[in-house]
């Protein structure tokens, strides 16, 4: 049978052999040296503080770079009040759906979605279409 | 009617900006002795304990943003970093095949031979435990922390802490039994 130790005795043995009890605390000189080293590293590795204007400039530049490949809207030609065929109409081709975008002079955007498989003329009173 | 609006976030931000370094220094002043004691108990070696505590604070210095803002959170964060460092060291030693060759802490000149003996026995018994289990038993038996406090410090569930503590005590009882028996016999001699 293995010998065992009771709960309170185990605690007593552990405390009697506690390394911290016999070695003592960190010496002031050791602590000062360590503190100075930590401080030096903290200063060296401190993140650069970003000024708000610099952040805004970087964000704008990034936005321009990202938006550039998508092209720009031709001025004047797109802002027709009447939604009719013309140079202001942009018809992106999709596989089974087409969208026509109009931009009114006040900035309102109108988007028509046309499906290839639905060529019937729309009727306001057509219950099938409305549903 | 006067309305008061509390702006918690900006104040906290201002505090953070004002003193990431000051906060680290406060953290150091508040915790370096406690962490050193813990490191000493976990490793049994003064020089190693000093290195580990320094490394823990250097990690805090390199990543000040990851230190929780609350005092309790910061304490737990530091303890966890230290325990992880001890574990990393233990794993490295285990790979090299000398995880159990932990000498006892360097005794002060005042330490008696029986105290040194007890230190050796305890250090060897603690070294046989895994770092997490060792940390739990040290925090419970030597620091006097409750299971709930240890769970908060190490980011574990209290039930997990209790389970590890029970297993660690059982392991230590078996490891320390011969020493306890010889002590008893020595004490019984006239």
ipTM entry: 0.72
Q: CA-CA distance, A112 to B43, in Å (whole number)?
A: 73
Task: Return d(Cα A19, Cα B115) in angstroms, integer.
Answer: 10
How far is the first Cα of chain A from the last one, in angstroms, to the nearest whole number? 85
Cβ contact A26–B58 (<8 Å)? no
Nearest by CB: A37 against B54, B116, B122: B54
**Residue in A21, A12, A19, A23 with CA at minimum distance from that of residue B172:** A12
Query: Residues A47, A53, A58, A59: what is their CA dihedral angle, to the nearest 10 degrees?
Result: 110
The string of pLDDT tens digits covering residues A52-103 is 667 778 888 888 777 766 655 554 444 445 555 555 555 555 567 777 887 8
DSSP state letters, B58-109: HHHHH-GGGS-SSHHHHHHHHHHHHHHHHHHHHHHHHHHT-TT--PPPPPPT
Q: How far is B92 from chain A (nearest CA, A)?
A: 22
* Phi, psi angles (nearest 5°) of residue A71: 80, 180
Give yes or no for a contact between A62 and B84, defined as CB atoms under 8 angstroms apart.
Answer: no
Flag if A46 and B20 touch (Cβ within 8 Å).
yes
Question: Cβ B173–A34 below 8 Å, yes or no?
Answer: no
Residue of A nearest to B49 (CA): A26
Q: Residue with structure tokens 């802002």?
A: A79
> pTM above the 0.90 mark?
no
**B 113-152 → A contacts, CB under 8 A:** 115-116, 118-123, 137, 141-142
Average pLDDT over residues B103-125: 66
Chain B CB contacts of A2 under 8 Å are 174, 177
Which H or E run contains B190? Answer: none
The pLDDT of B59-73, averaged and rounded, is 89
* Closest chain A residue to the Cα of B53, Cα to Cα: A34
Q: Give pLDDT tens digits for A15-47.
A: 888 888 878 889 999 999 999 999 888 887 665
Residue B151 has pLDDT above 90, yes or no: yes
Contacts of B37 in chain A (CB under 8 A): 20, 25
Interface contact flag, B57 A43, Cβ < 8 Å? no
Q: Out of A7, A10, A24, whose CB is closest to B176? A: A10
| Least CB–CB distance from A25: residue in B33, B65, B106 | B33
CB pairs under 8 A between A and B: 129
Residue B83: name the closest of B59, B118, B47 by CA: B59
Using N-to-C axis directions, what is the helix angle for B20-43 and B46-62, rounded to 10°? 150
The pLDDT, as a whole number, for residue A110 is 83
Question: Closest approach of chain B CAs to the CA of A47, in angstroms?
Answer: 9
> What is the chain B residue with the closest CA to A15?
B142
Chain B residues whose beta carbon lies within 8 Å of the beta carbon of residue A16: 115, 118, 122
Contacts of B108 in chain A (CB under 8 A): 22-24
| B175 interface with A at CB cutoff 8 Å | no
Query: Which contiguous run of DSSP H or E holds residue A114?
Result: strand A109-115
Which chain A residues are closer than 8 Å to B36 by Cβ?
25-26
Interval B135-163 mean pLDDT: 93
pLDDT class for B169, splitting at 50, 70, 90?
very high
Euclidean distance between the first and the last CA atom of chain B, given in angstroms as a whole number? 85
């Amino acid at each position: 049978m293995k010998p065992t130790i009771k709960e309170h005795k185990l605690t007593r043995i552990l405390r009697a052999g506690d390394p911290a009890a016999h070695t003592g605390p960190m010496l002031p000189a050791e602590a000062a040296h360590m503190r100075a080293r930590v401080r030096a590293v903290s200063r060296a590795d401190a993140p650069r503080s970003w000024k708000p204007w610099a952040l805004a400039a970087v964000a704008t530049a990034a936005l321009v770079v990202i938006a550039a490949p998508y092209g720009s809207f031709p001025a004047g030609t797109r802002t027709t009040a009447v939604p009719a065929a013309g140079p202001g109409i942009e018809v992106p081709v999709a596989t089974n759906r087409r969208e026509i975008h109009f931009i009114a002079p006040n900035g309102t955007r109108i988007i028509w979605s046309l499906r290839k498989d639905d060529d019937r003329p729309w009727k306001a009173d057509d219950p099938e279409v409305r549903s | 009617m006067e309305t008061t609006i509390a702006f918690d976030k900006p104040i906290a931000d201002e505090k953070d900006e004002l003193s990431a370094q000051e906060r680290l220094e406060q953290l150091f002043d508040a915790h370096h002795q406690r962490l050193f004691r813990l490191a000493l108990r976990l490793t049994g070696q003064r020089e190693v304990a000093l290195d580990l505590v320094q490394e823990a604070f250097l990690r805090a210095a390199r990543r000040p943003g990851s230190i929780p803002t609350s005092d309790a959170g910061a304490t737990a964060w530091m303890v966890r970093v230290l325990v992880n460092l001890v574990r990393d060291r233990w794993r490295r030693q285990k790979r090299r095949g000398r995880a159990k060759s932990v000498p006892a802490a360097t005794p002060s000149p005042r330490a008696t031979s029986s105290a040194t003996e007890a230190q050796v026995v305890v250090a060897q018994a603690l070294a046989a435990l895994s770092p997490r289990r060792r940390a739990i038993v040290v925090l419970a038996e030597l620091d006097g922390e409750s299971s709930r406090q240890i769970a908060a410090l190490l980011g574990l569930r209290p039930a997990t802490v209790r389970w590890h503590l029970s297993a660690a005590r059982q392991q230590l009882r078996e490891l320390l039994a011969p020493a306890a028996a010889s002590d008893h016999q020595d004490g019984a001699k006239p």
